[in-house]
Chains A and B, each alone.
Chain A
Amino acid sequence: MMWRLISGHALHFRSWNDEFVVYNSLSGDTHLLGSAAAHVLLKLQQAPADAAVLAEFLAPALQPGFDGDFVLEIEHLLVDLNRLALVELS
């Protein structure tokens, strides 16, 4: 499954330490996100991708913080971001 940022969204990021605040200028919502979720969004800003591609890209930075199947963790993260109306299936 390929994921992308919901079309029309312009996301604005600010980070302090390991946490990100993300502003969605389309919905007007502001989200407090952890490093993994923010990096997924930043990667999807460049191009749509599936969980496996995202996992491969993000693993060097993020994998030490995850247990078990990293691709599965990224899939769960994408579902959560979909619930926040930040990403959608491409």
Chain B
Amino acid sequence: MKVSALSFQELGIRLKKGGIFLRTGSFVTHLQTSISSVADGIGLLYADYPLVEHAGFADFHVSLASPRTLRRWFKPQVLFLFDGKPAFKPLPLDQAFPTFEWGLNWCVSSHANRYLIIHAAVVERGGYAAILPAPPGSGKSTLCAALVCRGWRLLSDELALVRVSDGKIIPLPRPVSLKNESIDIIQRYEPDAVFSRKVSDTMKGTVAHMKAPSDSIAYATEPARAAWVIFPKYQAGAATRLEALPQSRAFMRVADNAFNYSLLGVRGFETMAGLIDASLCYDFSYSVLDEAIETFAALKPPVP
């Protein structure tokens, strides 16, 4: 059963009572909350995701709750609880849904060490994955959103999961996180895209999340093979330019963007080396989304 099978009212009741078991890619999250904005966000952006019925197991047990302090009367807050314990400091209640998204990213990046986890967007076409590692502010999510609005499959907007056993990229399609002017840019670029409401004054500025395409969610259990590692850089007015990057340099830069490369030790090194072996590596600068899409459409997979 999908989340959309529940009315908003039923979803709210389930979230409040026993919680729901939500499948996102290869993870099951047990989520419990009585905060209505979280229920609204789940109902809107996770409508196409499967619910696991009668689940006895979840990878992550999380809840979002308002701390019951006096402060709740004048500046209400939200807490993200993992296994019943706060994972972060409380945030303003208005940020409850973004807090869920950030918290779920934290759950995966802190616990899923069977994967090499890279801070990167990943999109796929024809079975080949393009990994877009980048620090915040590089235009990674904007480019990722535009690509998935133009036919690329979303594997992840934030966390590239490389399976240590075989180097395959494991999908984790979840809402695409956009911030500040990127929100309006993508809303103009794809007027049919579904967005959560904008939340301002967060630690990232104004944020909103774009619903993942239904096809990406439907194929969330199909891994892809790495084919390209592309470091995007949005620069106002910049010409669209794709420049080959030596693989050794790409290795070091991807390692810099990995969450658990050091933790995995030699397995992290070997997995990273396999990823780089399999990939053509590029620096990519852009300012015009249509030109960026054309450049990606022309990418050829590596010759085996």
Contact = CB atoms under 8 A, between A and B. Distances in A.
A and B form one complex = yes
Interface stretch (A20-28, A52-60, A62-70, A81-89): A20-28
Interface residues of A, number: 14
A30 B255 contact: yes
The interface residues of chain A, by DSSP majority, are classed as strand
**Chain B, interface residues (CB within 8 Å), range:** 10 to 19
A19 B265 contact: no
Contact of B246 (A10, A17, A23): A17
Contacts of A12: 266, 269-270
A19 B248 contact: yes
A30 B273 CA distance: 12
Contact of B273 (A17, A21, A25, A32): A21
B27 to A, nearest CB: 27
A28 B252 contact: no
Contacts of B251: 14, 16, 21, 30, 32
B11 interface: no
Nearest to A28: B262
Interface of B: 246-249, 251-252, 255, 261-262, 265-266, 269-270, 273, 276-277
Interface of A: 10, 12, 14-17, 19-21, 23, 25, 28, 30, 32
14 contacts: A12-B269, A14-B273, A16-B247, A16-B251, A16-B276, A17-B248, A19-B246, A21-B252, A21-B273, A23-B266, A25-B266, A28-B265, A30-B261, A32-B248
